[in-house]
Chains A and B, each alone.
Chain A
Amino acid sequence: MSIVGDILSMFSRDNQSDRVVPKTGHTATLTLFTSAAMAFLTVFALALSMAAGRLADRWGEDLAKSVTVRISAPSDQIAAQTTATLKVLETTTGVASARVLSEDEQQALLAPWFGPDVPVSELPIPRLIEVLETDSGFDAAGLRLRLSVEAPGAVLDDHTRWREPLTIAAQRLRFLGMTSILLIAGATAAMITLAANAALAANLQVIRVLRLIGASDSYIARAFVRRFTIRAILGAFAGTFIGMLAILMLPQSTDDKIFLTGLGFQAGQWLTPLILPFLAGVVAFFATRAASNRALRKLS
C-alpha cells in the first residue's frame, strides 16, 4: 500500500486491524513514556530557542538604533568639546537626535558598579552623548573623521564591538535549541523503532497466522503502525501539556532583556508546542512503517 493509503488508514475506524495484534503492556508503556518525555524536552528546547531568538532580535534592535559619543578631555575642555560634538552631530545626515546624558542618568549607569551614592560631578568621568539614528543610519567612518578634527576628545562608540558577539551568542543559542529539537526527534524515532521491533518480534506467531490466511504485508504493518502512532500522539499530548505547564510556572520578570526569566513563550508562540503531538505522530508513523516493512521483508 502507498504512503498516502497508509496515512488515510490512520483515520479510518478499523476495529479488526486494531485487534489483530495483542495489546502488549511493555511496549505500550515504553512508547507512551518515550513520547511524553521527548515532547516535554522539546517544549523546553522550543522555549529556549524562542527566548534566544527574541533576545537576539531585541539586543540587535536596541543597540542598532543608538550610538554613544564619549568625550574624554581635560575638565576645562569638556564643555567646549561637548558643544562642538553636538554641532557636528546636528549637521550629520542620518542622525535623528543627540543629547547629553544628565548626571542622574550617568549615575544610574554607574550604580551597578559603584552604588547609588557615587558623586558623579566630582569624578573625572567622560561626558556621554546619546545619539539616535534615522532608519537610513549615518556614515560612522565619516563622522569619526569629522569628530577627530572638531572635538579630538570625542570617541564614537557604535556598540559594534560588543553588540556582534552578543547577537551571535543569542543566535547560536537559538541554533542549539533547534538542533536539540532535531536530535530529540531522531532519538524519538530510534526508540519507537526499537519498541516496534520488539513488538514485531514478540508477535511472530500473529504475523505467521495473518500471512497464512492471506493478509498482505501492508495490512499487517498497518496494525502495528496505527497502534504505535496513536500511542506516540497520546504520549506527546501528555508531555506537551506538562511541559507547557512547567514553562508557565517558571518565574517571570518584567524585564524582558533578562534571559533566564524570559525563558518561555509569548502571545502566539504558545500555539507552537501544540504542533508537537502531530509531529510525534509523523515520526512514529514513519519509524514504525520502516521497521515493520523491514521485519516483514526479512520474514519472507
Chain B
Amino acid sequence: MIEFESAGYSYGGQALFSQVNLELAPGSFHFLTGPSGVGKSTFLKLCYGELHPTEGRTTLFGQDLSTLNRDELAHTRQSIGVVHQDCQFLDHLPIEENIGLPIAISSKDALGEKANLQELIAWVGLTERAHALPPQLSGGERQRAALARAVIMSPDVILADEPTGNVDWEMSQKLLRLLVELNRMGKTIMIATHDLALIRAAKTHVQARVLRIANGQIQSAGADL
C-alpha cells in the first residue's frame, strides 16, 4: 500500500532519516513515535507525496510518487485521508461543508456520497455543531471533524499527525476508538504521536505495530512501550 525503498530525507543539509525500508500492509495499524522535531510529520508527508524523498523512493498503491505530475498526485491523494494536528479547515465555511469538501472536489457520485455525510457527522458526534464555523469549535470537535473529512471518501489509508495533541485524555480515547473502528473496517492506519500512553491504551484494542524514529532510522519498538 505504502512502501519506502531505501528512502531518506535531508533538509538544510541535515539528514532526518536515511535508508528507510518499510511497507505498510493493507489493513495494518501503525504508530509512529519519537521526540518532537525528530521528523514524524515529515515522514507522514512523504507517505502522501507532499514531500519527496531526497534519496530512494516512496510508492503509494504501487505508484512512484516522484513520477506523478501535480494533477495525478492530487487524484492519488483523494485515496488517502489525512488528519493534521492543526486540522486545517476553510474557516469561512460551516464544518458540515468542510467535511463534505472532498466530495465536492472529487468526480465521484456526489449525491450518493452526500447521503453519507450526515451519517458521518453523527458518527463523530457533531450533528449539533454541523452549522458552526471551524473557529467556533473546541479542539476535540475540530479533531473529530478532521477525522470525518479524512474518511468521507472511504480512503484505503488514513494518516493522522498528532490527532490527540490538543485534546484531553477522554477525547483522545474517543478519537482512538474511532480510528480503531476504521481499522476494523479494513483501513490502513498510521498515527504519528509522541503520546506513549495513547499507544499503550491502543494496544489493548488493536494489534498495532509501533515504529520509532531515532538516529535517522525507523526502528520497530516493542516491549519497552
Binding site for B on A (CB under 8 A): 16-17, 19-20, 22-23, 205-206, 208-219, 296-297, 300
Contacts and interface: CB of A to CB of B under 8 A. Distances in A.
A186 to B, nearest CB: 29
Contacts of A17: 104
Interface string B56-87: 00000000000000110011111010101000
Contact of B88 (A20, A208, A296, A300): A208
B55 interface: no
Interface in B144-198: 149
19 contacts: A16-B97, A22-B90, A22-B91, A205-B88, A208-B88, A211-B74, A213-B105, A213-B149, A214-B74, A214-B76, A214-B80, A214-B102, A214-B105, A216-B70, A216-B105, A217-B70, A217-B71, A217-B74, A219-B74
A6 B82 CA distance: 28
B101 interface: yes
A213 B102 contact: yes
Interface size class of B (residues with CB under 8 A): 20 to 34
A173 B43 CA distance: 66
B210 to A, nearest CB: 26
Given A16-B104, A217-B70, A218-B71, A212 B88 contact: yes
Closest 9 CB pairs of A and B: A214-B78, A16-B104, A214-B77, A216-B74, A22-B92, A215-B105, A216-B71, A213-B102, A209-B88
Nearest to B80: A214
A296 B71 CA distance: 12
B97 A214 contact: no
B122 interface: no
A243 to B, nearest CB: 35
Contacts of B89: 209
A208 B91 CA distance: 13
Nearest to B153: A214
B84 A212 contact: yes
Contacts of B97: 16, 19
The A contact surface, by secondary structure, is helix
A300 B102 CA distance: 20
A175 B104 CA distance: 49
Contacts of B77: 211-214
B105 A219 contact: yes
B106 interface: yes
Contacts of A208: 88
B15 interface: no
Interface in B116-163: 149
- From B75, B92, B105, name the one whose CB has the most chain A CB atoms within 10 angstroms: B105
Given A19-B93, A19-B97, A20-B101, A215 B88 contact: no
B116 to A, nearest CB: 16
A209 B78 contact: no
B74 A215 contact: yes
Contacts of A20: 90, 93, 101, 104
A245 B173 CA distance: 69
Contacts of A16: 97, 101, 104-105
Contacts of A209: 88-90, 101
Given A217-B74, A218-B71, 4 more contacts: A20-B90, A210-B101, A215-B105, A219-B74
A244 to B, nearest CB: 37
Contacts of A19: 93, 97
A206 B89 CA distance: 8
Contact of A214 (B75, B84, B90): B75
Contacts of B88: 205, 208-209, 212
B93 to A, nearest CB: 6
A300 B77 CA distance: 14
